[in-house]
Each structure stands twice: as C-alpha cells, then as structure tokens.
Amino acid sequence: MLFSKKKKEEPASIEALELEADTSGMTEEQIAAQSAAEVLDKYDRESAYRNKLPKILKNLVGVILIAFSVFQIYTSIFTIQERLLRPIHLGFAMCLSFLLYPARRHFRRDRIPWYDWLLAAASIAVTLYIPFNLSYLVRNIGNYGTKEVVIGIIGILLLMEACRRIVGTPILIVVTCFLAYTFFGQHIAGTFGHRGYTTRQVITHMYYTLEGVFGTPIGVSATFICLFILFGAFLDRTGVGKFFIDLANAIAGKRIGGPAKVAVISSAFFGTVSGSSVANTVGTGSFTIPAMKRLGYKPEFAGAVEAAASTGGQLMPPVMGAAAFLMAENTGFPYSRIIVSAIIPAVLYFSGILISVHHEARKLGLKGAASEDVPKVVHLLRERGHLLVPLIYMIYMLSSKATPAYSALGAILSSLIVYSVEWWALIPIGFMVVCKEFVPSLHFTQYALIAIGIWIVICLFRRKLGFRIVEVLESLREGARSVLAVAIACGMAGMIVGTVTLTGLGLKFATGISYLAGGNLYLLMFFTMLASIVLGMGVPTTANYLITSTICAPALIALLIDINGLSAPTTAIIMGAHLFVFYFGIIADITPPVALAAMAGSAIAKGEPFKTGVTATRIAIGAFIVPYIFVLNPAMLMIDTNVFFIVFSLATAMLGMYSLSGGLAGFVQDECKWYERILLVGAGLAMIYPEVASDAVGVVVLAFVIFMQKRRAPKRAA
C-alpha cells in the first residue's frame, strides 16, 4: 500500500495495454467471464484442458464425452452389475483424461500428441480387460497369472498419470506413500509393521477386487456423483448461476455491506451443487468481488469473503458437493439423516461469515448498494423463479426416500422442461410429484415418459421448444468433462482404502494417534484436525473426504467409544466423527499455505494471496470451532434431542458467532479495546457450546461489552 501512488503514476505495461485492447467493446459480463477463465486455468487443474483443438478432434473428443454421459444415464435406468459398471466408468474417465489434458500445463492445447493417443488406447484396453474376462477372473480369483499382474500394474500406473494431470500431485504423493507401505511395511518395526505381501498379492487386491481401484469410491462416482454433476451442467445451462447472484442481490444488496452479503448468499446457493471450491469461487466471484471492491472493501477481504463462502457451499445441504452420498455409503446411514445433521453446522458457518462481513462494513462505514441497482425480489421470482423448480424437485425426491440416481435423473429432466417452457413446467413436474406420492406402483421411468409426453404437448401448444438439441449435447459434454477429475480421484482413493483393508493400517493409525494424544479427546481432535487439513490440501472434495474418513475418522470413533464406555459406536459418534473430518478436509481450501480457493479469490481481487488466505481463515472461524462442539454435544447434529433444545441451542450459538466474529473483527457497536476483544471471543465460545450455564455467562458478557460500547460511541462520534 505504501507504493500505491507510485504505481498509479507509472505508464501502463505492454500486457495491460494488450488486455485493454482485448477487452474493448466487450460487455461487463464478457470481461468477467474472460477473467474467470484465466483464473480457473491458473488455479484449477480441471480447467486447464485442451480447449483449442481443431474442429475434427474437438468433435471426436466431444462424441466420446457425450457417449460417457449417455452411458451413465443408461446404466442408472437399466442397472448393470458393479463389476462391469465400475471398470467401464473408470475407462471412460482415464481415456478422456489423456485426450483432454496435456502432460504439462504449459504444453500446446491445439493438438493431441501421439503418445496421448497411445495412453488413451492403453487405458481402454486395461480397464475393459476386466468386463471382457469377468467369468475367468471370478473363477480364478487369488490364482492370477503373470498377464493379469502386468495388466494390473499398467492400469495402476496409467491411473496415477491421469491423476497427476487432472487432479494434481498432492493426492498422487499420498497414494504413492500408501502403496509403498503395502510393499515395504514389513520392514517397519513396532505397531505399524505388517507381515509383508508379494507384488502379485498387492496388485490382485488393488486392481481385481472391489476393495481397491474399483472399490466403493469409484462405485459411488459411477452411480450417484456422476449424475449429480450432470444435473449441475444442465442446471447451469438454464442460467441459474446468474439467477442466484441476482436473487442474493435482491435479498441483501441494500443492506450494510450489501455486495459482500450477496457473495455469501449466492455462494451458499450455488456451492451446494458445485463440487469445487475453486470453481465456485471464480464462478460467483467474477461478479461479486469487483462489486465488493467498488463499495470500499479491501482486495484481500473481498477475495477472502468469496473464498470462505464458496468453500462452505460444499458444507451446505442438500447436495454438499456430492460428498453426502459418499458419507451415506461409508456410514451406512440414510441420505436424509446426513443432510439433517449437517443443517445446524452449515447455518452457523454461513451466519459467522455474514456477521463478519457486517462487522467489517460497520467498522469501515460502508453502506449498501443504491436502490435502483438492486432488483426487486417479487419481480425476480416472477420472471426467473421457475429456475428454482429443478432444485426444489430434487430436494423433494431425496427427502421422499427416492434413490439418489432417480432423484438426479428427475432433476435433469425437470431442468430441461423448465428451460424450454418456463412456468408451464409445473404441469409435467407436478404430474411426476403426484405419481410419486399417490401411485407408488408406477416405476420412475413410466411416469417420467408420461411427463415427457405432456411436455411435448405443451411445446406444441406454445409453438416453441425453447432450446436446441445442440445445447443438450453441450450440457452432456460439459457434464462428462466435469466428472473426469472426480472419477480419477475416486479411483486413487480406492487404493488408499485398499491399503487399509489389506494391511489393517486404519486400526494401527487410530491406535497410534490415540497413543500420541494420551487418551485426551481434545488433543485427539486437534491432531485429527491437523491431519485432515494436511490431507485435504489441493485435493478435490470427494477425494479428501474419502481419505480423511478412511484414515482419521476411525481414531476419533475408537476414543469416543472408550470414553463413553460403549461396546459399539452410536449414531452420534459415527456422524460426529465423519462430519468432523469432512469439515476440516473442506476448509483446507482456505487454510494457508495452500488455500487454493483463497488464491483464486486473491487473483480476481488483485490482492496479496497469503493475506487473503489468513483473512479467509478468520472469516470462516466457525468452521474451526463448530466441529469440536458437535462432536462433544450431538444436539448440534439433531441427534438424541428435542425441538426446544435445538431452537435454544441454535439461537445461543448464533449469538455466540456474533460475539466471536465481533471480537476477531475488533468491532461490534464501536472499535473494541484489547480486553473487549478477549471478552467477546470468550463469550462467543461459551455460547456456541450448547449448555445453559455457559450460555448464560456468554450472554451476560456480550451484553456488558455492547453496553460499554454504546455508551462511548456517541462521545467518539462527537
């Protein structure tokens, strides 16, 4: 900041003049889209693909992408056995990874070199070997020859190379360490040693069973996650992302610090569907961050708000970036139980960010946007409210105990209908709801076909279809491309799970970390938090949850069982442990030094990256505290409690977030003195913990600080 004037006086650089020339004649939305694409290319590996291929190659790869999406939709309607589905799913993902992603990010993106064609063909060969020889592999399990071992080794190496290109090196390093442990762990003395395994045993376990590469993670990717990512692609085609921003602007734009609150609300809306912190940060941040800077927020704070809110979107029910389905699979609980337990922690997280934004705005004396710049909620809902119908329908389907696959398929169909006939879509979608409720004997495909017929009649009646087939194909193509990183990461995570099941490493890690903590629950939670954050750095949401739930959660569950004197874990213990590691794996995206989401936010805001990460951590402080609370008291997860206690706990916890955020920001009603900041932080922690005595102490301390600040605020103003 000391050199800001000097920078303004210097002549513009050649790069700046070129950029100015490039953006001349472009609309604000086009400039924002171009800036977003540049930031994504730098910070999001999934976006650094070959996007300048010649038309013939582009169409060829596009056909394979569309075939991938169509295959996933077909297999969700007509079920095939998992030993066929999983290898084909991963084969598509690996092949497309080599065709779309260069070996180095700086390599040319307008051609596909010969060796990538070779690697793509080899990926298809080694994965399809399993379904084409399934009967032989099942008959001879445990007695495979050299050919099967060589194919398994090639398949694992190709998967690791695809991971390096599309996901990144952090998860590759982690998986490499786990594989090294399976091969050389017998040389480790003490608890962490194992009896030793031959290369044949390791490769057989990792590649030919359902406990390695083709284990539960890739199974969830092939059945649930892929469809929900496709739904996100179709939903994005309807323009729902811009609608979320406009709706958030209508709700909070005129409030104190309005643009920052708009960023928080829109990111919460969009982030629950988006499975990427970085993509969410860039997608909404390209509009909200410039608005925050224009209002008067510092670049680092603007970037931090967007990064913290976008990262938290994956903690927000109902979709939670598709990780909720993995959690349901891992814990054995129904999906509805997962999202109900996640509601209060998510509300506290976003409340904390909104309160931090409010305190910062009052501290800087910032106002909201002008009335003429803020759309009316009623007008917005009347014009574009139909875009919410697919999301509402999906939530209804999931809450009515429909399978996730049929919920996603119905949501995809409803997004197509909504896009083409707008509010008229309520007729066919309402028909599907009525059938689901009152004619349960009808299969989903039956009433979906009837709904499609009604949709066609409406289109003929209105004499317009509203969209082109090209746009449907584009959605299928983009959805498939978005699946690639998740599928590859799930395949890699499967090898971590395979190592744990083969060597018993999970139990050994749980024993080791419990010994290190000395049986102290608070120390164990702290060590688990550190391990989850480290394992989650630079790793996609689904993969980091798979890693942390496999390695870190068992230690926490084991100690909680011992402390409570139980013979088996309860619902509260399992849910608390899994959500604990999930939270800390997610917020690794805003925790320095890696903090990819904060880096993306700082790039858009033109701020200092590390400072943006530190600020994002302060703003999202709730994410570092709330998990401790719900592990200690399951009432926060709405388990073993009643409505009165839930409402009371939520109200006092919200007051706690207000006090805590004020103490960290240094402002509530006036600038805080040093001792007031300490009192506010202490009061906030006391009220977040759901206990009557601590709540009473916290309320009294907060009231005292507010009273003192209100007394001196008029004097300072005078």
pLDDT tens sequence across 667-677: 888 888 889 99
Look at residue 200 and tell me whether its pLDDT is greater than 70.
Answer: yes
Which string of DSSP letters, residue by residue, matches 495-537? HHHHHHHHH-HHHHHHHHHHHHHTT-HHHHHHHHHHHHHHHHT
Q: Are 632 and 559 in contact (CB under 8 A)?
A: no
Per-residue pLDDT at 69: 94
pTM given for the model: 0.83
Question: What pLDDT is recorded for position 36?
Answer: 63
| CA dihedral (583, 586, 590, 593) positive or negative | positive
Q: At what angle do helices 596-605 and 28-43 cross, to 10 degrees?
A: 140
Digit-coded pLDDT (tens) for 585-611: 888 888 887 778 888 888 888 888 888
Mention every residue, 6+ apart, whose C-beta is less than 8 A from residue 222: 72, 75, 82, 85, 86, 89, 90, 487
- Give the model's pLDDT for residue 43: 63
Which DSSP string do the residues of 566-597 spell out, in sequence order?
-SS--HHHHHHHHHHHHHHHHGGGGSTTT-HH
Of the chain, the percentage scoring pLDDT greater than 70 comes to 90
CA distance 346 to 583: 10
Confidence band for 640, pLDDT divided at 50, 70 and 90 = confident
Residue 21 has pLDDT above 50, yes or no: no
Which pLDDT belongs to residue 274? 65
- Look at phi and psi of residue 189 and say left if phi exceeds 0, alpha if psi is from -120 to 50, else beta: beta
Helix (H, G, I), strand (E, B) or coil at 667: strand
State the sign of the Cα–Cα–Cα–Cα dihedral 99, 105, 107, 110: positive
Which among 301, 169, 305, 303 has a CA at the least distance from the CA of 620? 305
- pLDDT surpassing 70 at residue 135: yes
Distance CA 187, CA 185 (A): 5
Phi-psi map region of 10: left, alpha, beta (phi>0 left; psi -120 to 50 alpha): beta
User: CA–CA distance from 96 to each of 132, 184, 484, 583, 600 (Å)?
Assistant: 20, 33, 8, 31, 26
Query: How far is Cα 423 from Cα 387, in angstroms, rounded to an integer?
Result: 9
* pLDDT score at 18: 41
Per the prediction, the chain carries an average pLDDT of: 83
Q: pLDDT: is 115 or 466 the higher one?
A: 115
Please state which of the ranges 86-100, 420-434, 453-467, 686-700 shows the lowest mean pLDDT.
453-467
CA dihedral sign of residues 666, 672, 677, 680: negative
pLDDT of 12 above 50 = no
Predicted pLDDT of residue 702: 93
Q: 138-152, 264-278, 371-385: which has the minimum mean pLDDT?
A: 264-278
Q: How far are the Cα atoms of 171, 315, 523, 596 from residue 537, in angstroms, in the given order?
A: 9, 17, 21, 8
* Secondary structure (3-state) at 671: strand
Distance CA(82)–CA(548), nearest Å, equals 25
Instruction: Determine the pLDDT at residue 391.
Output: 85
Highest mean pLDDT among 66-70, 436-440, 633-637: 66-70
Rounded mean pLDDT of 451-466? 78
User: Which residues are bridge partners to 671 per DSSP?
Assistant: 667
Are 348 and 626 contacting, i.e. CB atoms less than 8 angstroms apart? Answer: yes
**Among the ranges given (322-326, 504-508, 637-641), the one the predictor scored with the smallest mean pLDDT:** 322-326
Q: Specify the range with the lowest mean pLDDT, choosing from 535-549, 550-564, 588-602.
A: 535-549
Label residue 44 by pLDDT band (50, 70, 90).
Answer: low
Helix (H, G, I), strand (E, B) or coil at 403: coil
